[in-house]
Amino acid sequence: MNKARSVCVLLADDHALLRDGIRPFLTDLAEDVEILEAVDFDGALQMASDRVPDLLLLDLKMPGMAGVETVSAFRKACPDVPVVIITGQVVREDVLRAMELGASGYLPKAMSGASFVHALRLILSGQPYFSAHLLGPGGGEGEAAASSQQAGGRFADLTNREVQVLSLLVRGESNKEIGLHLGLTEITVKSHMRSIFKKIGAANRTQAVAMAIQQGVSG
């Protein structure tokens, strides 16, 4: 996926150490990245209203926040800006509620830097990103290992060509780009996609990418 020319990101988290850790990854989102920072709800909301960033990263635990319900305040203040929750404690009910409120992503702070950047790139391209195992019945941190193990068996059923297609999907390429890369027609790529989704149990491209990243598939 090509970098955007410029992106303005509002990073709202009260932990300076975490902001310091995230900042270098954000610079990989575009050729020119402006990073705004806030440490509480009031400051983040004011900044989002005044500056209107391209992307909002929101910690649910910083001062002034009222949990996942606060997403609605930011959606009202800047309705066209993707709101992404970054959290150290993943709760399935919060994930589902965040989706209902219009959040574009729910990212655990424990995810790798590469996965974090990829997720944000997908979100900036207009695709929501929610970890696949959190969306199934009983999903959550406690079941992540079991979900990953089950997914591993399904991934083992993929053909070499399907693995190639999935790797390019993880990279963020469209069906047309994947076809050009592999010398396939777009119809053939779509056929491979349907097969991949069926084998790994993904409902759509976003879930397929999330599951692939969890299995270590790189672009």
151-161 pLDDT per residue, tens: 445 787 889 89
78 plus 180 within the same structural domain: no
More confident residue, 172 or 7: 7
pLDDT attached to residue 108:
84
103 plus 148 within the same structural domain: no
114 plus 16 within the same structural domain: yes
Lowest mean pLDDT: which of 130-134, 136-140, 162-166? 136-140
122 plus 174 within the same structural domain: no
Kindly state whether residue 135 falls inside one of the protein's structural domains: no
Supply the DSSP string of the chain, one letter for each residue: -PPEEEEEEEEE-S-HHHHHHHHHHHTTSEEEEEEEEESSHHHHHHHHHHH--SEEEEETTSTT-BTBTTHHHHHHHSTTSPEEEEESS--HHHHHHHHHHT-SEEEETTS-HHHHHHHHHHHHTT--EE-HHHHSTT-SGGGHHHHHHHHHHHHTT--HHHHHHHHHHHTT--HHHHHHHHT--HHHHHHHHHHHHHHHT-SSHHHHHHHHHHTT---
160 plus 114 within the same structural domain: no
125 plus 147 within the same structural domain: no
pLDDT band at 168 (very low <50, low <70, confident <90, very high): confident
31-78 pLDDT per residue, tens: 899 999 999 999 999 999 998 999 999 998 899 998 899 999 999 999
Q: For residue 157, what are the domain limits?
A: 141-214
- Domain boundary residue, one of 105, 130, 155: 130
27 plus 90 within the same structural domain: yes
Q: Tally the domains of the chain.
A: 2
